Amino acid sequence: MFEEVDLSHIEFAAQDAILALWPQVDRVLGALGCSEAWVSDGTTIADFGLGDDQLAQAGLALGLPVAQEDHLYAVAYRLKAKEN
């Protein structure tokens, strides 16, 4: 049997930047090979556990540098700026 668990104390991280940049976020996630990931404004590239080769391939696919410490929304913002 399952016990009832009180989940009322759980708060989800903000997604304002992610949602505002969704087309670019989707492209970045695809380049990272993580298109089905749930992400928030706090998500960093390091959260995906990619190796150096995978990270370099993602950067090539996007046409811009991608670093482990980058927030996902920041990469998406740079991608949007590059497209405009």
Please state, in angstroms and rounded to a whole number, the distance separating the CA atoms of residues 27 and 22: 9
pLDDT on residue 12: 85
Please state, in angstroms and rounded to a whole number, the distance separating the CA atoms of residues 36 and 30: 9
What does pTM read for this prediction? 0.87
pLDDT on residue 50: 95
Phi and psi at residue 6, to the nearest 5°: -80, 115
Residues of the chain with pLDDT under 70: 1
